[in-house]
Structure 1
């Protein structure tokens, strides 16, 4: 069963003269369907851990967790902190099928990554890989938001993607309600590689909507690195702050 929306056409009309901001309903000055004011006021992630993108008080630091337990991925690239209104926009995209919101965020993330590639020396990956979803959950939701983001980024960045290289053959408990230690246990043996996966000496970017503890990203990166990948990065829309901050 393949129930993932194909999206061969635009989700809505991308005309500069008719678009309104999807956040405030005021006229949008660009085809991204967000006005300049709302785009500027989004919670852009500034000072952060150089590995996992955890918000920190200063630049150039590595958080204590990454120092104690080095993740298998090299770095997390996230434009925003998971706070208002990004948290609401992602939730509506992810759980209520408000796909235009996801498309808007995906396009803005594409611009952000273009800037990083052109101005900060961020290396372009060979392939984009969406975080896979188990079949039962995919049937229940009807779509994988990580795959939708990956497709949009692939088009905007001109980087190919493969939705079949990473597999999730086993059902697991939803991660949202679990603490960091339980999340790691929950993901043991949750993922696998396709039998014909071409991994050796390739640079991958795993795509997801939000990074919380990094357990899923670490598990997937470890799987790829063990199979011979040269580097694994993580692209996500938002990074959650440390609890209590």
Structure 2
């Protein structure tokens, strides 16, 4: 596993006083590597389900699925819909090792969470990155969820435990699977490490994208069974329903 990007990958100096926007390459007018215009044009999540963050015409209500069968997690927090250019930025981050893009998205997610905490969202006791299958992590060289969790930990002063959750089955990739197949795919795929201590804790799962919520549901179920008091999900983007 690479702990730092190698020399062939794009590296961004976050200690510079003046930044250039990573999207348009123009000088930024903020402390982050994104200009105000590009930030405003990101696909910000508007109306959405108050539980799973599924995009809806209005906010403050539950989607049909969460009303019919409430998930084990309490709430999903995501700043964006999974749409251009966020989808492209996430893909380049996790499949092309464009670390500065992931760091930028993580910084913006931390700003979103600070606002949510100020609005009354309970702060978690610990951040838990969604684990990656061993083979996929060896191929990729890193777990994007773990990087996001570590960056959020720095920005929000929250502890992170990167090894409490384990992926014990190397299942096929989830991207092209429907909800039912995803659920079967993840059956018994995860386990809690012997050293994990989640009883009585409010934990937040960290991942890059929430699609059907099957992974979050499987992990939340195990955490609740192990005694966790509450499970939330923090991610960069939420996918809409097919066809929306």
TM-score tier by shorter-chain length is over 0.9
Cα pair distance change 1:17/1:195, threshold 3 Å: closer
Structure 1 vs Structure 2 CA RMSD: 1.2
CA distance in 1, matches of 2:16, 2:100: 15
Q: CA deviation at 1:30?
A: 2.2
Provide the secondary structure at the position in 2 that maps to 1:61.
coil
Is the CA contact (8 Å cut-off) linking 1:128 and 1:206 kept in structure 2?
yes
Shift of 1:4: 4.2
Q: How does 1:3-152 map to 2 (within 5 A)?
A: 3-6=1-4, 11-15=11-15, 17-118=17-118, 120-152=119-151
Q: Is the 8 A contact 1:15 1:31 kept in 2?
A: no
What is the distance in 1 between the residues matched to 2:4 and 2:227?
31
What stretches of structure 1 move > 6 A for 4+ residues in a row? none
1:40-59 deviations in whole A, cap 9, x for unaligned?
A: 11111111001100000012
TM-score relative to the length of structure 1? 0.95
Q: Distance in 2 between matches of 1:167 and 1:51?
A: 25
Residue 211 of structure 1 contacts residue 238 of structure 1 at CA under 8 Å; is this kept in 2? yes
Residue number in structure 1 paired with 2:178: 179
TM-score normalised over the length of structure 2 = 0.95
Structure-1 separation of matches of 2:2 and 2:218: 24
Structure 2 counterpart SS, 1:210? strand
d(CA) in 2 for partners of 1:152, 1:213: 25
> Distance between the aligned counterparts of 1:150 and 1:17, measured in 2?
25
Contact kept in structure 2, 1:165 and 1:193, CA below 8 Å: yes
Report the secondary structure of 2:76's partner residue. Answer: strand
SS in 1 for 2:94: helix
SS at match of 1:90: helix
SS at match of 1:232: strand
Distance 1:6 1:227, change over 3 A: farther
Offset at 1:12? Answer: 2.4
Counterpart Cα distance in 1 of 2:151 and 2:96: 19
Q: Secondary structure at the match of 1:92?
A: helix
How far does the alpha carbon of each residue in 1:152-192 deviate from its partner, in whole angstroms, 9 at most, with x for none? 00000000000010000110010001000000000000000
